[in-house]
Amino acid sequence: MKAKVRLYLDHPLGVGQSVPLDRDQAHYLFGVMRLSVGDGVLVFNGQSGEWLAEITEAGKRGGALSVVDQTAPQMNPPDLWLLFAPIKKARTDFIVEKAAEMGAARIVPVQTDFTNSERIRQDRLQAHAVEAAEQCGGTFVPEVTNLQKLDRLLDNWPDDRQLMFCDETEAGAALTLANAGKGPWAIVIGPEGGFSDRERKRLNALPQSHVVSLGPRILRADTAAVAAMTIWQQTFGDWQ
């Protein structure tokens, strides 16, 4: 049995396990992808690797799968958080999608002094992270948290988590991660308006902080998020 479609399921997975499908999943598999009983689907739940499952029931309002065999082990990303200040809707969606593809373990929208939007739809952003994992062959889905105040996060910053502070005022300076080491990390990217002087002082004063330049040009926040994750993954992550 071959399977091309990958689907995230919030359900335990194991050989012989029967998994019910809700209306949305049934619509996607049977309406959009035109699959039917007997076809195979690759499924994962974010914790137990990837599995081949066979469609055993296919209806308009639901259906069922039976899990056949494991096709890939669970692969978790490095312990990297991406902190970013939400920008316009489509660009925020892009950041979440790319962060999930590039191997963030946790995606944290932060409210900064110059953050453009005061609210986010956490459920919608989480759904983007799920979709990105389905598309990229990943078995892990990063958690997208609710909007958090950057100040509050910094008040309780974990001792062992280093912070890659991407500071646009250092654009072009020769600042790299050369003096840092592996372990838990976070990247922080500011909003369109950049960081305030007050935030910059706070971020620089944090002992775990490493200020970094992303080259001589000022990048948009979504470009900066991808560039920063590329540098980090290449230096400390699972691209090595």
Beta bridge partners of 117: none
Who's near 197: CB < 8 A, 6+ residues apart? none
Residue from 101, 131, 151, 168 binding ligand SAM (CB under 6 A) = 168
In terms of CB distance, is 36 or 196 closer to ligand SAM?
Answer: 196
d(CA 198, CA 193): 14
Residue closer to ligand SAM (CB basis): 85 or 120: 85
State yes or no: residue 117 binds ligand SAM (CB under 6 A): no
* Selected range binding ligand SAM among 6-14, 42-50, 102-110, 165-173, rule: CB under 6 A: 165-173
Q: Which stretch binds ligand SAM (CB under 6 A): 23-31, 132-140, 178-186, 211-219?
A: 211-219
Q: Binding to ligand SAM by residue 166, rule CB under 6 A? A: yes
Closest CA to 103 of 85, 76, 128, 143: 76
CB of 79 to ligand SAM, least distance (A): 21
184 lies in the site for ligand SAM, by CB under 6 A: no
Smallest separation, CB 151 to ligand SAM (Å): 16
Closest to 142 in 3D by CA, of 156, 157, 131: 131
Residue with tokens 């072009």: 172
Residue position matching structure tokens 């259906």: 63
Please state, in angstroms and rounded to a whole number, the distance separating the CA atoms of residues 206 and 224.
Answer: 21
Residue 171 near ligand SAM by CB under 6 A: yes
Strand-strand pairing, 50-58 and 63-72: antiparallel
- Judged by the rule CB under 6 A, the positions of this chain that interact with ligand SAM are 166-168, 170-171, 189-190, 192-195, 213-215, 217-221, 224
